[in-house]
Amino acid sequence: MTELLSSAQMRAIEQEAIQSGAATGLDLMERAGKGVVDAVLAAWPALAADPHRAVVLCGPGNNGGDGFVIARLLRAMGWTVRLHLFGDPARMPEDARHNHDLWAAEDPVLALDAATVFTGPRPDVWIDAVFGIGLSRPVPGEVAQVLDADAMAAWEQSHGIRRVAVDCPSGLNLDTGMIASDTDAPEPSGKAGRATMNTVDLTVTFHSPKPGHYLAKGPILCGEVRAVDIGLSDTAPERRSIMEEPDPERIRLVEPVFRGRAIEPRTWLKSVMAKPGKAGHKFDFGHVMVFAGGVGQGGAGRLAARAALRTGAGLVTVLCPPAALIENACQLDAIMLRALKEDVPLDDVADARVTGFCMGPGMGVTPRTRKLVQEALARRAGPRHRRDPVVVLDADALSSFAEDPASLFPRTHARTILTPHEGEFERLFPDLGSSQRQGRSKVDVVREAARRAGCIILLKGVDTVIANPEGGASVHVAAYGREAPWLATAGAGDVLAGMIAGLAATQASAGLLSVAELAVYLHVECARRFGPGLISEDLPEQLPQVFCELGL
Ligand SMILES: NC(=O)C1=CN([C@@H]2O[C@H](COP(=O)(O)OP(=O)(O)OC[C@H]3O[C@@H](n4cnc5c(N)ncnc54)[C@H](OP(=O)(O)O)[C@@H]3O)[C@@H](O)[C@H]2O)[C@@H](O)CC1
Ligand SMILES: [K+]
The whole-number average pLDDT for the span 169-177 is 96
CB atoms within 10 A of CB 308: 35
The whole-number average pLDDT for the span 93-121 is 97
Residues 298 and 215 occupy one common structural domain:
no
The whole-number average pLDDT for the span 177-186 is 63
Residues 165 and 70 occupy one common structural domain:
yes
Taking the C-alpha atoms of residue 70 and residue 255, their distance in angstroms, rounded to an integer, is: 31
Ligand 1: centre distance to CA 237 (Å): 25
pLDDT at 280: 82
Any known ligand binding at 467?
A: no
pLDDT at 383: 82
CA distances from 60 to 87, 93, 95, 474 (A): 5, 8, 11, 33
- pLDDT over threshold 50, residue 184: no
Residue 260 lies inside a defined structural domain of this protein: no
Taking the C-alpha atoms of residue 93 and residue 63, their distance in angstroms, rounded to an integer, is: 10
Ligand 1: centre distance to CA 136 (Å): 8
Residue 495 lies inside a defined structural domain of this protein: yes
pLDDT at 181: 67
Ligand 1: centre distance to CA 491 (Å): 44
**Residue environment code for 242-278, b if the CB has 16+ CB neighbours within 10 A, otherwise e:** bbbbbbeebbbbbbbbbeeeeeebbebbbbbbbbeee
Indicate if the alpha-carbon torsion angle 448, 453, 459, 464 is positive or negative. Answer: positive
Any known ligand binding at 529?
A: no
pLDDT at 195: 56
Residue 100 lies inside a defined structural domain of this protein: yes
Residues 317 and 216 occupy one common structural domain:
no
Ligand 2: centre distance to CA 171 (Å): 8
Taking the C-alpha atoms of residue 279 and residue 512, their distance in angstroms, rounded to an integer, is: 22
pLDDT at 241: 59
Reported confidence tier of residue 235, pLDDT bands at 50, 70, 90: low
Taking the C-alpha atoms of residue 35 and residue 533, their distance in angstroms, rounded to an integer, is: 41
Instruction: Report which bound ligand comes closest to the CA of 132.
Output: 1
Residues 169 and 273 occupy one common structural domain:
no
Using a 6 Å cutoff on CB, does residue 133 contact ligand 1? yes
Last residue of a domain, one of 188, 221, 237: 237
Tell the residue nearest (CA) to atom 2 of ligand 1: 14
Instruction: Report which bound ligand comes closest to the CA of 130.
Output: 2
Contact call for residues 176 and 440 (beta carbons, < 8 A): yes
Using a 6 Å cutoff on CB, does residue 138 contact ligand 1? yes
Any known ligand binding at 250?
A: no
Supply the DSSP string of 273-312, one letter for each residue.
Answer: -SSTT----GGGG-EEEEE--STT--HHHHHHHHHHHHTT
Residues 226 and 274 occupy one common structural domain:
no
Q: Going edge to edge, which strands form the sheet with 202-206?
A: 110-111, 80-85, 53-58, 125-129, 162-166, 202-206, 224-228
Residue 329 lies inside a defined structural domain of this protein: yes
Residue 258 lies inside a defined structural domain of this protein: no
Supply the DSSP string of 123-188, one letter for each residue.
Answer: PSEEEEES-STT--SPPPHHHHHHHBTTGGGGSTTGGGSEEEEESS-TTB-TTTS-B-----PPPT
Domain of 145, in residue numbers: 2-237
Using a 6 Å cutoff on CB, does residue 167 contact ligand 1? yes
- pLDDT over threshold 50, residue 191: no
CA distances from 488 to 233, 434, 458, 524, 534 (A): 40, 19, 17, 11, 9
Q: Is 458 exposed, middle or buried (0-12, 13-18, 19+ CB in 10 A)?
A: buried
Residue 522 lies inside a defined structural domain of this protein: yes
Any known ligand binding at 360?
A: no
Any known ligand binding at 63?
A: yes
Any known ligand binding at 325?
A: no
Tell the residue nearest (CA) to atom 3 of ligand 1: 14
Q: What is the CATH number of the domain that holds 91?
A: 3.40.50.10260
Reported confidence tier of residue 274, pLDDT bands at 50, 70, 90: confident
Contact call for residues 212 and 173 (beta carbons, < 8 A): yes
Supply the DSSP string of 52-105, one letter for each residue.
Answer: -EEEEEE-SSHHHHHHHHHHHHHHHTT-EEEEEE-S-GGGS-HHHHHHHHHHHT
pLDDT tens digits for 301-310? 999 999 999 9
pLDDT at 185: 43
Ligand 1: centre distance to CA 161 (Å): 25
Residues 368 and 323 occupy one common structural domain:
yes
pLDDT at 193: 41
Which residues sit opposite 228 in a β-bridge? 206
pLDDT tens digits for 215-227? 999 999 999 999 9
Residues 315 and 462 occupy one common structural domain:
yes
Domain count, the chain: 2
pLDDT at 4: 94
Using a 6 Å cutoff on CB, does residue 14 contact ligand 1? yes
Any known ligand binding at 301?
A: no
Residues 167 and 276 occupy one common structural domain:
no
Residue 259 lies inside a defined structural domain of this protein: no
Ligand 2: centre distance to CA 130 (Å): 5
Residues 291 and 219 occupy one common structural domain:
no
- pLDDT over threshold 60, residue 163: yes
Taking the C-alpha atoms of residue 305 and residue 300, their distance in angstroms, rounded to an integer, is: 9
Contact call for residues 71 and 270 (beta carbons, < 8 A): no
- pLDDT over threshold 50, residue 542: yes
Which phi and psi angles does 124 have, rounded to 5°? -85, -30
Residues 207 and 341 occupy one common structural domain:
no
pLDDT tens digits for 8-47? 999 999 999 999 999 999 999 999 999 999 999 999 999 9
Using a 6 Å cutoff on CB, does residue 165 contact ligand 1? no
Ligand 1 atom nearest the C-alpha of 131 is 17
Average pLDDT over the chain, rounded to an integer: 93
Q: What is the CATH number of the domain that holds 302?
A: 3.40.1190.20
Residue 255 lies inside a defined structural domain of this protein: no
pLDDT tens digits for 417-429? 999 999 999 999 9
- pLDDT over threshold 90, residue 187: no
- pLDDT over threshold 90, residue 140: yes
Residues 221 and 370 occupy one common structural domain:
no
| Least confident piece of the model among 92-96, 196-200, 370-374 | 196-200
* 234 compared with 359, residue with greater pLDDT: 359
Residues 219 and 279 occupy one common structural domain:
no
- pLDDT over threshold 60, residue 129: yes
Ligand 2: centre distance to CA 436 (Å): 28
Q: Going edge to edge, which strands form the sheet with 251-253?
A: 2-4, 251-253, 473-477, 463-467, 456-459, 416-418, 390-393, 356-359, 287-291, 315-320, 336-339
pLDDT at 196: 82
